[in-house]
Chains A and B, each alone.
Chain A
C-alpha cells in the first residue's frame, strides 16, 4: 500500500495514512475514522469504528461531531481518493 505521497497543494500538504497503521490502531480511541460515502454505502460495509459523514452533510454536521479542530481525523472513501 503506497505510503506518504504528500500532495503538492500550493497551500498545505495533506498527509496519508497506510492500511497497516489503521489496522494496528483499530482499537485506538484517538483514531477517528470518517467515512464520506453516502449513508447506504456506509451501511453496506465500512471499516469498524468508523463514523458516517457523507460529503453532503459535512458542512452541517462536522462541527458537531468534531468540535476540536486539532483532532486527528482519518478520511476515507470508496476507492483511491
Chain B
C-alpha cells in the first residue's frame, strides 16, 4: 500500500516478529498508559457554554433511570423545603386558609404540593405563600425541563434501535451483493477457462470479457478488504468465512487463467492494472494484520488468499 502512495525506498523484513523473536532479538513493550478519561460527549454543540447549557448537557448524558430518579428526588427535596420553611418563619404552604402544620400530615401535604407543582398541574388546593412562591415557580421550571429530557430520551432510544437496524440491513444487503457478484465472477472465469481450453490462445473478445470480470472482481475484493480493515459493522464469522472461501476459488481460477496465457500481446493495460490491483489488495488480507482477531479457519482462508495473490503477479 505504501508503494501505491509513492514511497520508493521500501524494504521488507520478511521474517517479521516471528523470526526476530525466534532468534533472540531485543523486544520492546509498551507500558499501558492510563487512558485519559473521555468525556463521553461526542456531539459537542457549538452553542456557547454557559452554566445552563452545561446543566442541560449533563441531564442529556444521564440514563433514563437516573433521570427519573433525579426527578423524584428533586420533588421530595422541594417538598421537604416547603415543609421546613413553614416552621417558625410564618411563610409556608396554605391549604384552604389554614397554614400547613409542620407535622407528619403537613409533610404529606408538602410533598403532595411538590408533585402537583412539578407536574405542572397546580390544583390550587395548597398554595405557597411569600418567598415560597419563588421556589414553587423554580420547581415548575425544573420539573418541565427534566420531564422534557425524559420524553426525548424515550423517543431517541427507539430511534437508535431503528438506525442500528437499518445499518445492519443495508450492510447485509451489501454483503449479499458481494457474494452474488463473486459467484458471477467465478462462473465467468470458468467460462473463459473453458473457451480457452477449446480454442487455444484467447481471442480478443474473450480477453475483453476477462478484463471486465477482473474489474468486477477487483471491486468486490476492495469491498471485502474494507470490511476487514474498516469495519463499521462487524460481519459475523460465518458470512465472512463464505466470502473468503468465494474469494479463494475466484483467485484460484484467476491464477490458472493467468498462468496459461502469460505473454499474449493482446492483454490490455487495463487488464494488467486490474490484475495488479487484485494482487495488491489480496496480499494485504493477512490474518495477522487485520484489526480484529478471527477464528483460525478464517485466518487460514486469509493466508490462502495471500498465497494466491503472490502467484498472480
Contacts and interface: CB of A to CB of B under 8 A. Distances in A.
B11 A79 contact: no
A48 interface: yes
B216 to A, nearest CB: 21
A46 B290 CA distance: 17
Given A47-B25, A48-B27, A36 B11 contact: no
Interface string A16-58: 1111001100100000000111100111111111100011101
B26 A16 contact: no
Contacts of A59: 1, 5
A55 B289 contact: yes
A15 B7 CA distance: 13
Nearest to B231: A56
A47 B27 contact: yes
A50 B26 CA distance: 12
Interface string B1-23: 11101111111111111111101
A46 B27 contact: yes
Contacts of B272: 10
A68 to B, nearest CB: 9
Given A15-B12, A48-B28, A38 B17 contact: no
A1 B286 CA distance: 22
A75 B3 CA distance: 11
A73 to B, nearest CB: 5
A38 B286 CA distance: 12
Interface string A53-79: 011101100110010011111111111
User: Is chain B's binding surface mostly helix, strand, loop or mixed?
Assistant: loop
A45 B25 contact: no
A71 to B, nearest CB: 6
B230 interface: yes
Contacts of A74: 10-13
A63 B291 CA distance: 21
A63 B292 CA distance: 24
Contact of B1 (A35, A44, A55): A55
Contacts of B28: 45-50
A79 B16 contact: yes
A14 B13 contact: no
B25 A19 contact: yes
A65 to B, nearest CB: 11
A54 B292 CA distance: 12
Nearest to B272: A10
B241 interface: no
Interface in B280-302: 284, 286, 288-292
Given A45-B29, A77-B286, A2 B276 contact: no
B30 A42 contact: yes
B200 interface: no
B15 A19 contact: yes
Contacts of B313: 8-10
Given A9-B313, A38-B291, A58-B2, A73 B29 contact: no
B10 A15 contact: yes
12 contacts: A12-B3, A19-B20, A42-B30, A54-B291, A55-B290, A69-B7, A70-B9, A73-B7, A77-B286, A78-B18, A80-B15, A80-B19
The 5 closest A-B pairs by CB, nearest first: A78-B288, A76-B13, A43-B30, A79-B18, A48-B28
